[in-house]
Amino acid sequence: QVQLVESGGGLVQPGGSLRLSCAASGFTLRLHQIGWFRQAPGKEREGVSCISNNDDGSYYTDSVKGRFTISRDIAKNTVYLQMNSLRPEDTAIYYCGAGVMVSGCTLNPSSNSYWGQGTQVTVSS
């Protein structure tokens, strides 16, 4: 059974940090690209960051470059998103999504076959 389980969200002040985790089961990250996506109230889901199946490429949306870092642990079949210098506009539900891709990765949500249930990130003073 394929499953993605996110954790690590919460309430943080502007300028603070959070580390999100996404544990995958039922499939291997060696064959799937995986990424983080977010959806704020009233907005469409957008890609934040992704990492390729062979770890040779990662991408970030412009608004998080230099602040967020994606990484993965193959042994644990888990992907992480380290978020630093958080801003109120980063507030959203964060989802991890995965799909088969021969190479590279994509920030397009429609390319993913599997989704987690999401974790809330709120940046507020």
Q: What is the pLDDT of residues 77-91, one digit of tens each?
A: 999 999 999 999 999
- The mean pLDDT of the chain is 94
Torsion sign (Cα): 125, 37, 119, 39: positive
Report the share of the chain in percent with pLDDT over 90: 82
Tell me, what's the pLDDT at 51?
A: 94
What is d(CA 23, CA 96) in angstroms, rounded to the nearest whole number? 9
CA trace torsion 92, 96, 102, 108 (10° rounding): -20
Question: Which of 18-22, 54-58, 63-67, 83-87 is predicted with the least confidence, judged by mean pLDDT?
Answer: 54-58
pLDDT of 21 over the 90 cut: yes
The answer to whether the beta carbons of residues 33 and 106 sit under 8 Å apart is yes
Residue in this structure with the two tokens 């608004």, named with its chain if needed? 63
Tell me, what's the pLDDT at 97?
A: 96
29 confidence band (pLDDT: 50, 70, 90): confident
pLDDT of 55 over the 80 cut: no
Tell me, what's the pLDDT at 76?
A: 94
Q: What are 20's strand-pairing partners?
A: 81
Contacts 24+ apart (CB under 8 A), 9-12: 9/94, 9/119, 9/120, 9/121, 9/122, 10/120, 10/121, 10/122, 11/122, 11/124, 12/86, 12/121, 12/122, 12/123
